[in-house]
């Protein structure tokens, strides 16, 4: 039976975390659509699911409702804010729980923690000046990456920044 912290951190969407993960993606909080559908990155304008396939994380494209299948590929999901849903600008910064995320990473020991937006990473680190890509800091043996957002709201920057996802895919 895998370890679980889900009873401690129930959230809007349950964490998809277990032992022996290669990679955990961490967002800020579920969108309203994701909260409504009870599935990570569920808005049709979000490029998360097509990018996982295109960047080589998955051998086939999955739909948001199939997110539990990510465990089959040693990929987990969580959010920094487990209490709210919505766009980043509407979220209460007091609900971003960096310590809880750190505890989850120390508990499960994934090889890589990848923030799915610079905003999520900046809330975790408590600073706004961050570069995309691998970070110098780690959590124990877990390497940390900062990726550009796949949200439809970030679409104007996607073509210029999506290579970071492919770079991580090459490491995965």
> pLDDT tens-digit profile of 35-61?
999 999 999 999 999 999 999 999 999
All structural domains of the chain, each given as residue ranges with its CATH number in brackets, are 24-171 (3.40.470.10)
Rounded-to-integer distance, Cα 81 and Cα 78, Å: 9
Rounded-to-integer distance, Cα 79 and Cα 115, Å: 9
Beta bridge partner(s), residue 112: 23, 143
Tell me the pLDDT of the chain averaged across its residues: 91
- pLDDT number for residue 92: 80
Which of 28-32, 134-138, 141-145 has the weakest average pLDDT?
Answer: 28-32
pTM: 0.91
- pLDDT number for residue 11: 65
- Sign of the torsion angle spanned by Cα atoms 148, 133, 49, 94: negative
Is the confidence at residue 4, as pLDDT, over 80?
A: no
Query: Residues 13-19: what's their mean pLDDT?
Result: 96
Taking alpha carbons only, the member of 68, 150, 82 closest to residue 114 is: 150
């Amino acid at each position: 039976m895998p370890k679980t912290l889900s009873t401690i951190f129930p959230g809007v969407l349950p964490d998809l975390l277990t032992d022996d993960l290669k990679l955990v993606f961490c967002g800020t909080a579920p969108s309203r659509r994701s909260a409504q559908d009870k599935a990570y990155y569920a808005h049709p304008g979000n490029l998360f699911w097509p990018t996982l396939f295109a960047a080589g994380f998955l051998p086939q494209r999955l739909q948001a409702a199939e997110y539990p299948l990510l465990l089959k590929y040693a990929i987990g999901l969580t959010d920094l804010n487990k209490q709210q849903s919505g766009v980043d600008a509407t979220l209460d910064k007091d609900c971003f729980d960096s310590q809880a995320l750190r505890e989850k990473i120390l508990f499960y020991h994934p090889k890589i923690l990848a923030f799915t937006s610079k905003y999520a990473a900046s809330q975790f680190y408590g600073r706004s000046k961050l570069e995309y890509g691998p970070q110098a800091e780690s959590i124990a043996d877990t390497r940390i990456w900062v990726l550009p957002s796949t949200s439809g709201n970030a679409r104007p920057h996607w073509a210029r920044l999506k290579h970071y996802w492919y770079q991580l895919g090459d490491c995965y």
